[in-house]
C-alpha cells in the first residue's frame, strides 16, 4: 500500500532510515523544460521528477518530487540522509564514458548489445547449440556482424539446479573461443565467477569480466580484477554459493538488490577497483519471483544513482513465460524485445540478449524515435 512522504517525515526520520531517489517521469523533448529536467549520465534519456522513498524496516514512504524542488526536500533531511541523496543525484549525472576493448571502443551514450554465447551443454535456452568450438566461434562472429557490440562467452550454466563445472573444464570451453574472437577484432567478455577462468580468459583476449556473484564466489576474484584493470560487471544474485538462486527472499526487492550492489561497489573500491570500471546488473531471474522481477523492472532507473553503467538482461527468461501463458523458451522473443526496449527507455547502457538482430532492430527504432523528438 502506498504511504505518502512529506518533508516533515524527513526531518523526524529515525537514524535507521534510508533514502532512495529514483529518476522518473521520463521526457522525450527536454528542450521544452530546460532546467526543469535532468539527463541520465550521457544517455539520450531525460527525466522531470524524482521518486523519493524513505525506508525504515518494512515502512516505506514515497513522494514524487519535481526536479527543481528536490533541493528543498534535501534541505529538510538530516545531514546523513541529505548526503546520501546528494551522492545519488551526482551518480545519476556522472558521465559513464566508453568501454575500451583493445582498438575497439563501445560508446555508452546509447544502448549497446551484449550477445550471449554459451559454450555449454546445459544452458536453459541454448545448451549444446555451440558445444563445438568452431560452431561457437562462427556464432560469435555472426553476432558481431549482426550488431552485438560485445560478445559474452560463458562456459558454465547458471540455470536453477545446474551442476557446478570444474574450472579446468570451463577454461577448455571458453579459452579457444575467446582467443579466436579477440584475434578477429570482436570485443569479448567472459561470463564466469571463477578467478582461474578470469585469468585464462583475459590472457586469451577478453577485455571484460561478467560475474554473476559480484566477485563474491571466489575469494581471489577481487584481486584478479583489480590487477587486470579491466571493466567488470557486478550482478546481483541472492547467494554467492554454488547455486546463485538460493535464498531469494526479499523484504523490499528493489531496495534490497540496490543495497547489495552498493555494498559490492564499496568492496571493489576498497580492493582497488575504481567505480569507473564497474557495471551493475540487477540480476533479473536470479533467485527472484515474478513480483520481484517486476519491481526491479519498474524501478530500474534507481540503479543509475550508483554512478555506474547499467546492464540489463532478461532474454528468454522465465518471467516472460509467466506473463504469457507459460510460453516456452523458444517462444519468448516478443517478450524479450519488449523488456529490453523498456530497459533502454529507462537509460540502460547495455542489454544482454540471445537474439541480436531482432534486438538491434528494436533499438534502432528506439533511437529513431529519440532523435525525432529531440529535433522536433
Angle, CA 228 vertex, CA 150 and CA 163 arms, to 5°: 65
> What values do phi and psi take at 311, rounded to 5?
-105, 135
pLDDT score of 126: 53
CA–CA dist 161, 342 (Å, integer): 29
Across the range 208-220, mean pLDDT stands at 97
CA–CA dist 65, 23 (Å, integer): 10
Across the range 208-223, mean pLDDT stands at 97
Look up residue 149 and give its DSSP letter.
Answer: S
Across the range 357-362, mean pLDDT stands at 98
pLDDT score of 2: 81
pLDDT score of 129: 62
237-284 pLDDT tens trace: 998 888 888 888 999 999 999 999 999 999 999 999 999 999 999 999
Give the model's confidence band at 118: pLDDT under 50 very low, under 70 low, under 90 confident, else very high. Answer: very high
Give the model's confidence band at 143: pLDDT under 50 very low, under 70 low, under 90 confident, else very high. Answer: very high
CA–CA dist 305, 254 (Å, integer): 13
**Is 183 marked active-site?**
no
> What values do phi and psi take at 45, rounded to 5?
-120, 125
3-state SS of 45-109 is: CEEEEEEEEEEECCEEEEEEEEHHHHHHHHHCCCHHHHHHHHHHHHHHHCCCCEEEECCEEEECC
CB atoms within 10 A of CB 16: 8
Burial of 248 (0-12, 13-18, 19+ CB in 10 A): middle
Look up residue 289 and give its DSSP letter.
Answer: -
Measured distance between the N- and C-terminal CA atoms of the chain, rounded to whole angstroms: 40
**Is 172 marked active-site?**
no
Look up residue 291 and give its DSSP letter.
Answer: H
User: Has this prediction a pTM greater than 0.85?
Assistant: yes
User: Is 90 exceeded by the pLDDT of residue 85?
Assistant: yes
User: Exactly one of 193, 194, 352, 370 is catalytic; which is it?
Assistant: 352
171-187 pLDDT tens trace: 999 999 999 999 999 99
User: Exactly one of 317, 318, 332, 370 is catalytic; which is it?
Assistant: 317
pLDDT score of 125: 53
Give the model's confidence band at 161: pLDDT under 50 very low, under 70 low, under 90 confident, else very high. Answer: confident
Q: What is the mean pLDDT of the chain?
A: 94
CA–CA dist 236, 256 (Å, integer): 10
What domains are there in the chain, each with its CATH number? 7-93 (no CATH), 98-375 (3.20.20.20)
Q: 123-137, 182-196, 237-251: which has the minimum mean pLDDT?
A: 123-137
pLDDT score of 51: 98
Question: Do 139 and 117 meet the contact criterion of CB atoms below 8 Å apart?
Answer: yes
User: Is 70 exceeded by the pLDDT of residue 221?
Assistant: yes
Helix residue ranges per DSSP H, the chain: 7-11, 70-75, 79-93, 133-146, 167-183, 195-204, 221-228, 253-270, 290-298, 318-323, 333-345, 356-375
Amino acid at each position: 500500500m502506498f504511504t505518502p512522504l512529506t518533508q516533515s517525515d524527513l526531518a523526524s526520520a529515525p537514524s535507521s532510515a534510508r533514502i532512495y531517489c529514483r529518476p522518473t517521469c521520463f521526457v522525450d523533448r527536454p528542450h521544452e523544460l530546460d532546467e526543469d529536467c535532468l539527463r541520465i549520465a550521457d544517455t539520450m534519456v531525460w527525466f522531470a521528477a524524482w521518486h523519493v522513498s524513505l525506508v525504515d524496516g518494512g515502512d516505506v514512504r514515497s513522494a514524487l518530487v519535481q526536479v527543481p524542488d528536490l533541493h528543498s526536500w534535501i534541505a529538510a533531511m538530516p545531514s546523513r540522509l541529505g548526503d546520501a541523496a546528494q551522492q545519488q543525484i551526482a551518480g545519476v549525472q556522472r558521465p559513464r564514458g566508453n568501454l575500451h576493448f583493445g582498438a575497439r571502443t563501445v560508446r555508452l551514450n546509447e544502448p549497446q548489445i551484449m550477445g550471449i554465447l554459451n559454450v555449454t551443454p546445459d544452458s536453459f535456452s541454448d545448451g549444446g547449440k555451440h558445444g563445438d568450438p568452431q560452431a561457437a566461434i562462427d556464432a560469435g562472429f555472426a553476432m558481431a556482424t549482426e550488431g552485438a557490440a560485445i560478445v559474452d562467452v560463458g562456459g558454465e550454466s547458471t540455470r536453477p539446479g545446474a551442476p557446478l563445472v570444474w574450472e579446468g573444464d570451463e577454461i577448455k570451453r571458453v579459452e579457444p573461443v575467446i582467443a579466436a574472437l579477440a584475434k578477429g577484432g570482436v570485443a569479448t567478455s567472459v561470463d564466469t565467477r571463477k578467478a582461474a577462468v578470469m585469468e585464462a580468459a583475459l590472457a586469451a583476449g577478453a577485455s571484460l569480466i561478467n560475474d554473476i556473484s559480484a566477485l563474491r564466489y571466489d575469494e581471489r576474484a577481487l584481486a584478479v580484477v583489480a590487477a587486470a584493470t579491466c571493466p567488470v560487471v557486478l550482478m546481483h544474485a541472492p547467494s554467492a554459493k554454488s547455486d546463485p538462486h538460493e535464498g531469494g527472499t526479499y523484504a523490499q526487492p528493489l531496495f534490497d538488490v540496490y543495497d547489495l550492489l552498493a555494498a559490492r561497489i564499496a568492496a571493489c573500491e576498497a580492493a582497488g577497483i575504481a567505480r569507473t570500471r564497474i557495471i551493475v546488473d540487477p540480476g533479473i531471474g536470479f533467485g527472484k519471483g515474478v513480483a520481484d522481477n517486476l519491481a526491479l523492472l519498474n524501478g530500474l532507473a534507481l540503479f543509475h544513482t550508483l554512478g555506474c553503467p547499467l546492464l540489463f538482461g532478461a532474454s528468454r527468461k522465465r518471467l516472460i513465460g509467466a506473463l504469457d501463458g507459460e510460453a516456452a523458451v523458444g517462444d519468448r522473443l516478443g517478450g524479450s524485445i519488449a523488456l529490453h526496449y523498456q530497459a533502454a527507455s529507462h537509460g540502460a547502457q547495455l542489454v544482454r540478449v540471445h537474439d541480436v538482430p531482432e534486438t538491434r532492430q528494436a533499438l534502432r527504432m528506439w533511437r529513431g524515435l529519440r532523435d525525432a523528438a529531440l529535433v522536433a
